[in-house]
Amino acid sequence: MLPFVYNALPARVIFGTGTLAQVVQELRNLGCSRAVVLTTPHQVEQGKAVKNLLGDLCVGLYTKATMHTPTDITDAAVSAVQELHADCLVAVGGGSTIGLGKAIALRTDLPQIVVPTTYAGSEATPIIGQTEDGVKTTQKTLKVLPEVIVYDVDLTLTLPSKMSVTSGVNAIAHAVEALYSKEANPVVNLLAQEGIKAIASALPIIIHERDTPSLREARSGALYGAWACGTCLGAVGMSLHHKLCHTLGGTFNLPHAETHTVILPHAIAYNTPYAADAIAKVASSLGVTNAAQGIFDLAKTLGGPYSLKELGMKEADLEKAADIAVRSPYPNPAPLEREKLLELLRNAWAGTRPE
């Protein structure tokens, strides 16, 4: 056994069906009584339901969470939270809402309860990404790690098919990069393989057997996999895949989960010659022999996006994206060479199946 270091993150996790009702007691356990509920404009009704559930323990509902966590939105949200004299944040939604909760917590130190409704996984991490003037940056600090995560399978039953695929592959990306991270360790390796297998097994059932009794079990498996993959993301550093996705999202405003879905097969192919053992674990968890092709085929056959072109990326911007991606060094199994990165981006733009 090789030596390793593993840091467990201090978060409380509640997983099950009908667990949303436990948010009230969790709020009290934190000693809080003036919560603000956060959502995106598209999830206002879910936010209202949680606000009603909390009753007098809730002092407001803020519904302007936005993709890539723009700092101007955070500015306005912090002002609103402070005017309400809030003592806790309850984020209900996916990565956009969770990101806003983290951004507010970074500035105010308010405790967070997160109720995920997608498979984003960011709720399990002390990582925040923020966008200012077209540039997305990330930082890692325990100040943004939610105190409590409440996973309720019921809240994912109506997650649209395409969003299920893209947020699921987004979660898988966390586990893939954890396996070849420089901080990889046996604990994270087990979680990563478990998470990949759980999500990859669940997604075909979610898409093709939507009205069968097996749907709830598949939704439960996918949500469990999302927690496992998100925990990997929080425990170790990420590499090329996440760097490219942050570049494409922050600078070119491409949708977050969809971009992860398109880029992941190509990032795997780029790193495979330099991380053969880790990528073999990915392939085994997927039940395939070629991990890059396995991810590509999984997303495409389930109706997910597979080209940057269909996400609105301009071919003329690929050069700029490659320049940004190599601007600051970061750990990655394969050397970061601009021309090879540009080739990766061109293949991803065209939707070419990895070799």
Whose CA is closest to 147, among 100, 222, 88, 191? 88
**Cα dist. 53→46, 49, 50 in Å?**
11, 6, 5
**Cα dist. 223→78, 116, 148, 276 in Å?**
30, 9, 16, 28
User: What sign does the dihedral 106-111-117-123 (CA atoms) show?
Assistant: positive
User: How far is the C-alpha of 133 from the C-alpha of 127, rounded, in Å?
Assistant: 20
Domains and CATH numbers, the chain: 12-156 (3.40.50.1970), 161-350 (1.20.1090.10)
The pair of structure tokens assigned to 335 is: 């050397």
Q: Which segments of the chain does DSSP mark as H helices, in order?
A: 23-29, 44-54, 71-83, 95-108, 161-179, 186-208, 214-235, 240-252, 256-271, 276-286, 291-301, 318-325, 338-350
CA angle 134, 138, 144 (to 5 degrees): 125
Q: What is the pLDDT along the chain (355 residues), one digit of tens a residue?
A: 678 888 888 889 999 999 999 999 999 999 999 999 999 999 999 999 999 999 999 999 999 999 999 999 999 999 999 999 999 999 999 999 999 999 999 999 999 999 999 998 889 999 999 999 888 888 999 999 999 999 999 999 999 999 999 999 999 999 999 999 999 999 999 999 999 999 999 999 999 986 677 899 999 999 999 999 999 999 999 999 999 998 999 899 999 999 999 999 999 999 999 999 999 999 999 999 999 999 999 999 999 999 999 999 999 999 999 999 898 778 999 999 999 999 999 999 999 999 8
pLDDT at 4: 83
> In Å, how far from its chain's centre is CA 264?
13
pLDDT at 9: 86
**Cα dist. 103→50, 115, 174 in Å?**
21, 16, 21
Contact 186, 1 (CB under 8 A): yes
Cβ neighbour number for residue 300 with a 10 Å cutoff: 17
Cβ neighbour number for residue 160 with a 10 Å cutoff: 10
Contact 304, 172 (CB under 8 A): no
